[in-house]
């Protein structure tokens, strides 16, 4: 959703995101500009993160590692700003072993990632084991909004949400996201 100012565009992007993550954790979501990351127009890359990441997920034995990069960009055609997602990694770990179970990655510009398209990793924790959850669990694929991952954690992996209206929070955030996504 575009904004008339960078702050407005950021607010429209960040508020639903923060609300969705708030269904899982009370950790404070922070952001930081990445030094020396300005694009040709001077827009710094920024990162959302939690200090104590991965965050523990209630009643599940799971932990969630969240990393999300974005830029605020100017659209000269509409004279508005919008927030553009640059990359993400959403990873689900077994808290006891600290082994990764599932990882949703999209890092098209990362020099360390050979695969530039969105993808899902079945993690180390699954090697030589039967699945630690029902084999009919609906694993999202393609480019995955974090709203879908949070919904998956609660609905399929039995994470206890921290607020009773989690479904409405996610639905509202998904609606906002669908209105502003460019893919």
Partner 1 sequence: MSTPGMALDLDPTVPEATREELIAAFDHTATRYLGISGDEFLRRFDAHEIPDLNDLRVRKVLDRIDLVRPARIR
Interface residue list for partner 1 (CB under 8 A) = 5-8, 10-11, 14-15, 17-18, 28-37, 41-45, 47-53, 65, 67, 69, 72-76, 81, 86-87, 89, 98, 100, 107, 109-112, 124
Cβ proximity to partner 1: between 127 and 136 the closer is 127
Cβ proximity to partner 1: between 47 and 174 the closer is 47
Q: Say which residue the tokens 């030094």 belong to.
A: 35
Distances (CA, A) of 145 to 32, 78, 93: 21, 25, 18
Nearest by Cα to 110 from 118, 121, 102, 100:
118
Q: Are 148 and 17 in contact (CB under 8 A)?
A: no
What's the N-to-C CA distance of the chain in angstroms?
Answer: 13
Cβ proximity to partner 1: between 37 and 158 the closer is 37
54 cis-preceded (ω within 30 degrees of 0): yes
CB of 98 to partner 1, least distance (A): 7
Cβ proximity to partner 1: between 30 and 139 the closer is 30
CB of 155 to partner 1, least distance (A): 26
Distances (CA, A) of 167 to 31, 98, 130: 25, 28, 30
CB of 77 to partner 1, least distance (A): 9
CB of 182 to partner 1, least distance (A): 14
Q: Say which residue the tokens 């922070």 belong to.
A: 30
CA gap 106, 117 in Å, rounded: 6
Cβ proximity to partner 1: between 91 and 148 the closer is 91
> What are the beta bridge partners of residue 48?
31, 68
CB of 43 to partner 1, least distance (A): 6
């Amino acid at each position: 959703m575009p904004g008339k100012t960078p702050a407005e565009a950021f607010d429209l992007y960040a508020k639903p995101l923060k609300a969705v993550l708030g269904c899982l954790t009370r950790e404070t979501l922070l952001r930081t500009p990445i030094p020396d990351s300005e694009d040709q127009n001077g827009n710094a890359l920024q990162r959302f993160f939690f200090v104590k990441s991965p965050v523990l997920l209630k009643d599940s034995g799971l932990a969630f590692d969240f990393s999300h990069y974005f830029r605020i960009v100017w659209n000269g055609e509409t004279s508005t700003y919008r927030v553009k997602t640059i990359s993400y990694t959403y990873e689900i770990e077994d808290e006891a072993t600290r082994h990764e179970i599932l990882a949703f990655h999209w890092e098209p510009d990362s020099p360390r990632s050979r695969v530039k398209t969105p993808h899902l990793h079945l993690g180390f924790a699954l090697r030589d084991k039967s699945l630690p959850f029902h084999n009919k669990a609906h694993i999202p694929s393609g480019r995955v909004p974090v709203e879908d991952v949070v919904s998956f954690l609660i609905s399929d992996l039995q994470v206890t949400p921290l607020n009773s209206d989690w479904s409405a929070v996610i639905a509202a955030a998904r609606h906002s996201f669908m209105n502003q996504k460019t893919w």
